[in-house]
Amino acid sequence: MSTLRFKTTINCANCVRAITPALNGEPAIQAWEVDTTAPDKLLTVHTDLGAAQVEALVKEAGFEAQAV
């Protein structure tokens, strides 16, 4: 299990609600959180997935993510 961090376009509570089904629905993600108060809107994910796989999940939900 690793901890990955991403700069995202998830910038408000409604965005968090929109991405929740995608991230909660992935069995390989143990936990996640988004700091919408940080300038880079940091998404932290505890997972066995690779960064590219998490970025793809975020993109499918309508947002952008870039590993930092």
Residues of the chain with pLDDT under 70: none
**Cα angle value 6/10/16 (rounded, 5°):** 110
pLDDT score at 14: 96
User: Could you report the per-residue pLDDT of 37-49, keeping only the tens digit for each?
Assistant: 999 999 999 999 9
CATH of the domain at 50: 3.30.70.100
Taking Cα atoms as reference points, which of 8, 12, 14 lies closest to residue 45?
8
- Quote the pLDDT of residue 40: 96
Domains held by the chain: number: 1
* Per-residue pLDDT at 23: 97
Q: Whole domain around residue 59: which residue ranges?
A: 2-67
Res 27: pLDDT: 96
Cβ atoms of 51 and 6 closer than 8 Å: yes
State the chain's mean pLDDT as an integer: 96
